[in-house]
Structure 1
Amino acid sequence: MSLSISQDRAASGAPIFTDAERPEKAAAPAFHVIRRNGSVTPFDGSKIAVAVTKAFLAVEGSGAAASRRVHEAVEELTGDVVATLTRRADADRALHIEDIQDQVELALMRGGHQKVARAYVLYREARAEERRAKAAKSKAKPETLTLNVRHADGSLVPLDERRLALIIAEACEGLEGVSAETVAAETRRNLYDGVSPTELQQAPVMAARTLVETEPNYAYVSARLLLDMLRTEGMSAVHGRAISATQADMAEAYPDYFPAFIKAGVVAGLIDAELERFDLARLAAALKPERDLDFQFLGLQTLYDRYFLHTKGKRIELPQAFFMRVAMGLSLREIDREARAIEFYGLLSSFDFMASTPTLFNSGTTRPQLSSCFLTTIADDLDGIFKGVKDNALLAKYSGGLGNDWSRVRGLGAHIKGTNGESQGVVPFLKVANDTAIAVNQGGKRKGAVCAYLETWHVDIEEFLDLRKNTGDDRRRTHDMNTANWVPDLFLERVEVDGQWTLFSPDETPDLHDLYGPAFKAAYEAYEAKAARGELKVYKTMRALDLWRRMLTMLFETGHPWITFKDPCNIRSPQGHVGVVHSSNLCTEITLNTSDDEVAVCNLGSVNLVAHVTPDGLDVAKLARTVATAMRMLDNVVDINFYTIPEARRSNLRHRPVGLGIMGFQDALQTLRIPYASEGAVTFADESMEALSFHAISASVDLAAERGRYPSFEGSLWSKGILPIDSIELLADARGGLEMNRSATLDWEGLRERVKTIGMRNSNCMAIAPTATISNICGVSQSIEPAYQNLFVKSNMSGDFTVVNARLVHDLKARGLWDEVMVSDLKYFDGSLSAIDRAPDDLKALYATAFEIDASWLIEAASRRQKWIDQAQSLNLYIASPSGKALDALYRLAWRRGLKTTYYLRSRSATHVEKSTLKGVDGRLNAVTSSSVAAQPIMVPEGTVCSMDDPTCEACQ
């Protein structure tokens, strides 16, 4: 409906809407507004339309009120602002007038109305100056309102000013650059007489959040203030009475709370009753309340919203109890399980290592589904296809990302013997799998997520490339499913020489699915000869380069299918003696065998690399200790895990694979003062992964000595003394050469002998997952990723979070460059220093963002890691100015450097971060063109957004 806006109404300040015209979305009678004098009035969305219209009038003159363009702009902007405000508000929280005006300013900037926004900013500043002048002239003492808290029964209790001041002071204690007085002043701005207890608790949290962009340490302040809310909620729910405790109280409170928490969780059916049989007093005494102070706001809010156990809408789990509950669940089968639980707890609560999201969700609960990834292969008959779909549902139910190999399903036009008809190909079944992933959403925690893999020789590959397009027959589209190409070396060899490529239906070429390397080449060429003789019914010959270019085009346009490489995944697999790797997983870092009777399972966790680095280099001794404990935790998952299908249990117990990865790589580089785009970064990637690989393999050998080898060890590459660094030569031999570094620095010969004589506990030890959520919990950079931006607002289900690179702020402060102008410039230039003239060149290099780094550096660093990893790594590639030539060079380089897989391709769109310098804005400063993702810190074409940053989507971690 168009708004009926009149010049007279706008000029007079009367409501822009008549009663008949007011749209439903503009009316929000349940919400209230705090005025500047502390009074509270009902929220009226129509006043926003008045303000916006006046801003247009100030720029475009009185005739603007009659313009249809202005009518439509005002309607759209008003609707956006109201929707944003009411989405974030609730019955217990009022909106402050300044917050509303901030959102109006932000909406004008988003809408591209820069001149109007500037006029609005000037108007606000002029009014603020008027208020200051009036206050200066008045000799009367400013009026101080007496504030009361209104409880659920309607009773009013005077605000406890002393406690409010205490918790704010406590939250700021020991942090440089923060001010308790500033937080208190901002808090009082959001209070009013009759404020609810919930809103009173939220007010200081929100106040501190608005200050993060000026000082990163306010992220800790806001987390500590949120912690006060959590303590009240959790301890009251567990003890059954109202309890309020400060951080100083927790040294005594935690030991009493913890046993009561375990009992309450068991009674509620949330916690395994076996945990009650631990020595709870011993575990409670080991808790470290001071580690509650190590959270940043994003990390604690994420745990609060989606990880902590709750009953009847109330959290019962506090942070240290959460880590101990996870540790206890992983220690159930240990001999001295209290000692091991304390050891595991120490690693988790220190953020030196973090288990994957399914483990954090479910460890110690009544359904301990702790594994992260599942890989399946789909058979070429209806029973097999729909069993695969059912398995997807069962595996996704309790959390876990899925990778499905669909290459055996016959192609379009292939003969169906049972009906004497023709197959409709693989695409209709992929649509069913897509819809199943959405239907099974882990009780609302996160949407199920699956990635479908198809080999490049499959006759349906061209339709497969189109699955994520927004045009065409929607029945042959999978808008919610990830897709990936499973590319044999032979295809890229044909691309290199501009040769021909033939597509086949797998029912006529069944052995291609299980072949790789020279054996695949021989069989493939034999089938080409059969096709040339007319002995095959379904096939198609085309130029290999044309198909390659189309693959890259679809990757850029839709973000899918990803490019993964079949031959290095198989040739370098330690388990080639017992099966074939037919696909990777949801996030392209897992490379395990699958078959009809084995569903591959991987159990993940990540070492926080920056916690093992000092300015002097890598702390190898600490890393060795961390890795030894982490590998034990991951190995325990195999035995404790709750398996939803027998094929997963059979596979996991037979091979016992785990995937130890890293996060905080970018932070580690910045600690070492090494730019990402440098030989130094490539060298550090090599050295750090060599150390992690050495100690992970050594830890698996130690576990084998204690617990026994994994059952399928004999015949593996391990049993022959062929370690990941050695398997490079197998790939080089198969290809006739390989451009991959082979240097090493540690005692691999000694370890090689230990592996051969003692054996391995785990068939696979390493995989680098995306760590999207657990890196947020730990407050470090994601996985091996370069920074998106140095200042941005991250939006997810937990809210909107200002994220600032604290190391950059520290460096700018040291040089006297951190001020409001720098904040404004960083926002304007999308969190990048490169265009800010006064920023020093060395800091521009050190803090270069993802799109400022030539993507070839990412591949070179990944290649150095890949030589040490027995699985793969989730490698996103960033390209600021994509072209066919650039993409072609990039992905050929990845193949030549021996990478096993790649992940998302990310590229900039025309729209960037909001050019806003608003203070106190929690609104989204970024938006993406994909409607399926709430928000991202970078701009990308539709479909190329990493869904891992959307917590509604299942991810490995």
Structure 2
Amino acid sequence: MPTARAATPAPTTARTAPPTLKDAVSAAPSGALAQYQIMRRNGAVVVFEPAKIAVAMMKAFLAVHGTQGAASASVREVVDELTQNVVRALMRSRPGGGTFHIEDVQDQVELGLMRGGHHEVARAYVLYRERRAQERAQQAATASAAAPATVLHVLEKGERVALDLPALKALFDQACANLGTDVSSAPILDETLRNLYDGVPVDEVYKAAILAARTLIEKDPDYTYVTARLLLHTIAKEVLGETLSLSQLGERYPEHFAQCIRTGVQNELLDERLQQYDLARLGAALKPERDLQFDYLGLQTLYDRYFLHVKKSRIEMPQSFFMRVAMGLALNEIDREARAIEFYEVLSSFDFMSSTPTLFNSGTLRSQLSSCYLTTVPDDLDGIYESIKENALLSKFAGGLGNDWTRVRALGSHIKGTNGESQGVVPFLKVVNDTAVAVNQGGKRKGAVCTYLETWHLDIEEFLELRKNTGDDRRRTHDMNTANWIPDLFMRRVMEKGSWTLFSPSDVPDLHDRFGADFERAYVAYEERAARGEIQPSKTLPAIDLWRKMLSMLFETGHPWITFKDACNVRSPQQHVGVVHSSNLCTEITLNTSDTETAVCNLGSVNLLQHLKDGSVDHEKLKRTVATAMRMLDNVIDINYYAVKKARDSNLRHRPVGLGLMGFQDALYALHIPYASEQAVEFADRSMEAICYHAYWASTELAAERGKYSSFKGSLWDKGVLPIDSIQLLEQARGGYVEVDRTSTLDWDALRAKIAKDGMRNSNCVAIAPTATISNIIGVDASIEPCFGNLSVKSNLSGEFTVINQYLVRDLKRLGLWDDVMVMDLKHFDGSLRPIDRVPQDIKQLYATAFEIEPQWLVEAAARRQKWIDQAQSLNIYMAGASGKKLDDTYKLAWLRGLKTTYYLRTTSATHAEKSTVHSGNLNAVSSSAPAGGGVSALDAAAAQARAQMDATPATDIKFCAIDDPGCEACQ
């Protein structure tokens, strides 16, 4: 394996033993490494030996730092850790085993050094590789002039045959068709052939082609579609049992679709009622050309996670999959075929996408289609363990969970039955944590739960520390999410620098069900009793001290999240029948829970990018899409499999759904609006107004057709109070402290009149979920998220994927700025344009990344959305250079703007955020003021060229969800 060398090589007498790997690879499943091999440059295939990676890295450190500098134990530990990271990355790139080219390994070594901040070592490594590449090219040119042409053979169906190069090139040409002049099959063919050896199985040829196309995605984002089409070719071979050209696939679709349904039913995967459809009619409605819409990440995710399989062999093609989902959602419709085609149209066009549980299970024998379940836990042993059992059952069938634990008595509280003292909430939460780990949704994704506790609970201070990595591990929950459920009275005490009293709920049982002015009256009365010594145990402390600890723990551990009880309840349409005691796993669902009702929500999201026209929202198209989507979501309620009776009773009674959105950032790019701008805030307002208006209108139309939901009478809907009107109720309950723009543009009076006439089909209609996976499927930015990095890596159970901002590349090409040096700079600067001098300021503003956007812009846009939404939104807060003041200002602003919930706080240090062009070893772009051909040293140019050849991933690596590590998408 090649090694890095400095300008002055280390003494040849130096010997360094390879470092111990701490059995980095022992963390892999038993025998996993045996599935991997290394292809050398001469075509020989050898055993994958991670220890050789450690040797190469140690030599690189020796070359730069010398024998003395690199021989210390700390360097050995660094090399050990870097080697582990490289091995993990390689294995994630081919989770099922396979062959790595030697260049793949070296690319990952280089990336590991860069990510680890060892820039001098990485630089030397890059330059050494470039020199060796040039030497090999010269040798190859000399050898090829004298050597006769060789014929490469492949193994196909057990026979050794010559590789059909014209057919292979034709496949690559088809994959590149209609993608522009910058996309060519030639580099794919060259890279594929470089990775082949004589006698290679033909399936490995197609895998090598996919990997070859992958390496080019960072050069031009359209190569992601090339890669997807090559993957589609291999999927078709697996599903249809023969090798077909991309143009031939469309001809086979109708016949295959009917066979797919029959196979699924025969293997007890699909509901036999699907065979009762007119399969010929549905097959004729399929649109195979839509397979070409997928990017690589989207199609690979569908293949790995969603397509049905029999004995690990897939039986679905993409359009068959979408139609199967649509059929499952149309089972109870009168004209099932017409509705299935209608549902198929919005799914396959990427106008709307149902949530992951719906995509997993629609049309199957056990169709658990709902996304979220909310429960409240009683204060008795039977109830506590029954709640934990419910968690296990709901998690088993792919539900994300939100648990309210506020009623459980605090540490030190009296237990009448045993005349003893309670151990509090925390020991039970440890059991909840371990249950979520143990019940992992059939291996499809990890179980996930979020626990909520109200701020007056006497265990709140210990609750805040549950995710710490220090302290008694028996009182820590490392895998479970936590959230604060904060009443407005506490926030007012913080603002006014008042005191706050903590109680055990066993002494103040009614506080759990009270909110607004009703809560304040009861709470103040309890405070007075506690001051007289009538309530023990209790504790009084400055409210600001507890608030600071909340923010400190949020910064340190990412938990507990900040959510607001009164905003969720005062604005709830369903306050006449119960109380919202918590949100869900991702903080967008705000539904009532009780001892008799487990709240359920069914999710799906509109692709906002697909609903723009002439620089604004296309209301006509959006209305059509939302009407179909709401019908699909309403159908889920009746078709759904319920693992718990309380969930079924609640869902059929109230019929809540959660229509959300994704691609908000993509829409801003399309409109050329920077995220951090008043125009973006205004667009958030207008687009959310449109989605909510059409969603509520669709629900009242469904009510006219199917009837009102049974608890409609007495709701805010029934009283003519729409979500925009309920802001006034919140302001009254708080006595002020609500500052949000309340302008509107649509005819809300007409909607009020329609609801007064026909009622509502659904108690709740809108909630913005994270869309962690379904946005990957359709190739847009998740939910309402800003772009994390213009060149980044997304990790999930399918592996690691280079994702590059296609809008940015389009603009940089227009300006003549897209080149290999720009690619290198984006990698070095974590996907940020800010430090790259030659990029114009307006482009930097438009393509500012999440940590370059001040968090108040996120809050302001969310506030404009929240005024229209009857539930809530999963709002991540990104903060560069976080400080106590910045945290305090941001979360107080969220409360003042009337937000119901917030989600993760994601921070980066000021040093990281301000990584500048003067740092040692940086590889900055050419300054816009530099003369042609100048501004970059020869060494920098060589490094740029070498790094541009990498099949590597940039330094940015974000997991938008902590439970996505890298695999779970419980929220979608």
* TM-score in terms of structure 2 length: 0.92
Q: Is the CA contact 1:370–1:641 (under 8 Å) kept in the aligned structure 2?
A: yes
> 2-side partners of 1:551 and 1:769: how far apart?
24
**Using a 3 Å threshold, how does the CA distance of structure 1 residues 756 and 361 change in structure 2: closer, same or farther?**
same
Q: Output aligned runs, 1:616-695, within 5 Å.
A: 616-695=615-694
The one-letter code of the counterpart of 2:105 is I
Choose the corresponding residue for 2:107, options 88, 96, 102: 102
Q: Is the CA contact 1:662–1:768 (under 8 Å) kept in the aligned structure 2?
A: yes
Q: CA deviation at 1:248?
A: 0.7
Task: Tell me whether 730-739 or 322-331 shows the greater mean CA deviation.
Answer: 730-739
**Using a 3 Å threshold, how does the CA distance of structure 1 residues 164 and 899 change in structure 2: closer, same or farther?**
same
The reply to whether residue 816 of structure 1 matches residue 816 of structure 2 is yes
Give 1:4's aligned residue: none
Give 1:799's aligned residue: 799
**Using a 3 Å threshold, how does the CA distance of structure 1 residues 396 and 189 change in structure 2: closer, same or farther?**
same
Q: CA deviation at 1:391?
A: 0.7
The one-letter code of the counterpart of 1:103 is Q
The one-letter code of the counterpart of 2:755 is V
Q: Output aligned runs, 1:876-891, within 5 Å.
A: 876-891=876-891
**Using a 3 Å threshold, how does the CA distance of structure 1 residues 92 and 192 change in structure 2: closer, same or farther?**
farther
Task: Tell me whether 280-289 or 15-24 shows the greater mean CA deviation.
Answer: 15-24
Q: Output aligned runs, 1:913-932, within 5 Å.
A: 918-919=947-948, 921=950, 925-926=954-955
Choose the corresponding residue for 2:170, options 160, 166, 172: 166
Q: CA deviation at 1:699?
A: 0.5
The reply to whether residue 175 of structure 1 matches residue 190 of structure 2 is no
Q: CA deviation at 1:75?
A: 5.1
> 2-side partners of 1:643 and 1:20: how far apart?
47
Q: Is the CA contact 2:788–2:958 (under 8 Å) kept in the aligned structure 1?
A: no
**Using a 3 Å threshold, how does the CA distance of structure 1 residues 70 and 589 change in structure 2: closer, same or farther?**
closer
* TM-score in terms of structure 1 length: 0.93
Corresponding residue SS for 1:452: strand
**Unaligned stretches of 5+ in structure 2?**
1-8, 916-921, 924-942
**Unaligned stretches of 5+ in structure 1?**
1-7, 237-242, 928-934, 938-944
**Using a 3 Å threshold, how does the CA distance of structure 1 residues 851 and 46 change in structure 2: closer, same or farther?**
closer
Q: Is the CA contact 1:740–1:863 (under 8 Å) kept in the aligned structure 2?
A: yes
Q: Is the CA contact 1:834–1:844 (under 8 Å) kept in the aligned structure 2?
A: yes
The one-letter code of the counterpart of 1:121 is V
Q: CA deviation at 1:956?
A: 1.8
**Using a 3 Å threshold, how does the CA distance of structure 1 residues 774 and 73 change in structure 2: closer, same or farther?**
closer
> 2-side partners of 1:899 and 1:21: how far apart?
47
Name the Cα RMSD after superposition: 2.6
Give 1:239's aligned residue: none
The one-letter code of the counterpart of 1:827 is K
The one-letter code of the counterpart of 1:821 is V
> 1-side partners of 2:36 and 2:884: how far apart?
52
The one-letter code of the counterpart of 2:876 is N
> 1-side partners of 2:438 and 2:670: how far apart?
44
Give 2:453's aligned residue: 454
Task: Tell me whether 473-482 or 10-19 shows the greater mean CA deviation.
Answer: 10-19
The one-letter code of the counterpart of 1:124 is R
Instruction: After superposition, give the CA deviation of every residue in 1:330-379 in whole Å (9 maximum; x if it has no partner).
Output: 00000000000000000000000000000000000001000010000000
The one-letter code of the counterpart of 1:207 is A
Give 1:750's aligned residue: 750
The reply to whether residue 314 of structure 1 matches residue 313 of structure 2 is yes
Q: CA deviation at 1:182?
A: 1.1
Task: Tell me whether 244-253 or 301-310 shows the greater mean CA deviation.
Answer: 244-253
Corresponding residue SS for 1:851: helix
> 2-side partners of 1:569 and 1:44: how far apart?
55
Q: CA deviation at 1:616?
A: 2.0
The one-letter code of the counterpart of 2:178 is G
> 1-side partners of 2:612 and 2:259: how far apart?
38
Corresponding residue SS for 1:127: helix
Q: Output aligned runs, 1:114-513, within 5 Å.
A: 114-137=119-142, 140-141=145-146, 144-150=149-155, 153=158, 155-176=159-180, 177-236=182-241, 243-513=242-512
> 1-side partners of 2:147 and 2:16: how far apart?
31
Q: Is the CA contact 1:447–1:952 (under 8 Å) kept in the aligned structure 2?
A: yes
Give 2:928's aligned residue: none
Q: CA deviation at 1:742?
A: 1.3
Q: Is the CA contact 1:399–1:954 (under 8 Å) kept in the aligned structure 2?
A: no
Q: CA deviation at 1:145?
A: 3.4
Give 2:849's aligned residue: 849
> 1-side partners of 2:19 and 2:539: how far apart?
65
The one-letter code of the counterpart of 1:175 is L
Q: Output aligned runs, 1:49-128, within 5 Å.
A: 49-61=54-66, 77-78=82-83, 80-82=85-87, 84-85=89-90, 88=93, 93-128=98-133
Give 1:576's aligned residue: 575
Give 1:559's aligned residue: 558
The reply to whether residue 783 of structure 1 matches residue 793 of structure 2 is no
Task: Tell me whether 32-41 or 430-439 shows the greater mean CA deviation.
Answer: 32-41
Q: CA deviation at 1:811?
A: 0.3
Instruction: After superposition, give the CA deviation of every residue in 1:770-795 in whole Å (9 maximum; x if it has no partner).
Output: 00100000100110011111111222
> 2-side partners of 1:750 and 1:585: how far apart?
33
Instruction: After superposition, give the CA deviation of every residue in 1:497-543 in whole Å (9 maximum; x if it has no partner).
Output: 11111111111111100101111000001111111222212211111
The one-letter code of the counterpart of 2:958 is Q
Give 2:970's aligned residue: 955
Q: CA deviation at 1:102?
A: 1.8
Give 2:830's aligned residue: 830
**Using a 3 Å threshold, how does the CA distance of structure 1 residues 11 and 265 change in structure 2: closer, same or farther?**
farther
Instruction: After superposition, give the CA deviation of every residue in 1:65-113 in whole Å (9 maximum; x if it has no partner).
Output: 8665665555555555455445645887322122222223223334443
**Using a 3 Å threshold, how does the CA distance of structure 1 residues 78 and 536 change in structure 2: closer, same or farther?**
closer
Q: Is the CA contact 2:468–2:557 (under 8 Å) kept in the aligned structure 1?
A: yes
The one-letter code of the counterpart of 1:166 is A
Q: Is the CA contact 2:39–2:46 (under 8 Å) kept in the aligned structure 1?
A: yes
Give 2:593's aligned residue: 594
> 2-side partners of 1:866 and 1:283: how far apart?
39
Task: Tell me whether 194-203 or 62-71 shows the greater mean CA deviation.
Answer: 62-71
> In the comparison of the two structures, how many residue pairs are matched?
929
Give 1:936's aligned residue: 958
Q: CA deviation at 1:135?
A: 4.2
Give 1:240's aligned residue: none
The one-letter code of the counterpart of 1:413 is G
The one-letter code of the counterpart of 1:160 is D
> 2-side partners of 1:70 and 1:504: how far apart?
52
> 1-side partners of 2:619 and 2:458: how far apart?
50
Give 1:941's aligned residue: none
Q: CA deviation at 1:682?
A: 0.8
Give 2:867's aligned residue: 867
**Using a 3 Å threshold, how does the CA distance of structure 1 residues 52 and 492 change in structure 2: closer, same or farther?**
closer
**Using a 3 Å threshold, how does the CA distance of structure 1 residues 151 and 481 change in structure 2: closer, same or farther?**
same
> 2-side partners of 1:797 and 1:30: how far apart?
18
**Using a 3 Å threshold, how does the CA distance of structure 1 residues 68 and 757 change in structure 2: closer, same or farther?**
closer
Instruction: After superposition, give the CA deviation of every residue in 1:305-333 in whole Å (9 maximum; x if it has no partner).
Output: 11111110111111001100000000000
The one-letter code of the counterpart of 1:182 is P
> 2-side partners of 1:473 and 1:540: how far apart?
23
Q: CA deviation at 1:834?
A: 1.3
> 2-side partners of 1:568 and 1:200: how far apart?
58
Q: CA deviation at 1:45?
A: 4.7
Give 1:772's aligned residue: 772
**Using a 3 Å threshold, how does the CA distance of structure 1 residues 766 and 428 change in structure 2: closer, same or farther?**
same
> 2-side partners of 1:659 and 1:204: how far apart?
41
Task: Tell me whether 391-400 or 69-78 shows the greater mean CA deviation.
Answer: 69-78
> 1-side partners of 2:16 and 2:742: how far apart?
73
Q: Is the CA contact 2:772–2:969 (under 8 Å) kept in the aligned structure 1?
A: no
**Using a 3 Å threshold, how does the CA distance of structure 1 residues 72 and 749 change in structure 2: closer, same or farther?**
closer
Q: Is the CA contact 2:21–2:83 (under 8 Å) kept in the aligned structure 1?
A: no
The one-letter code of the counterpart of 1:564 is T
> 2-side partners of 1:343 and 1:129: how far apart?
57
Task: Tell me whether 133-142 or 757-766 shows the greater mean CA deviation.
Answer: 133-142
**Using a 3 Å threshold, how does the CA distance of structure 1 residues 503 and 466 change in structure 2: closer, same or farther?**
same
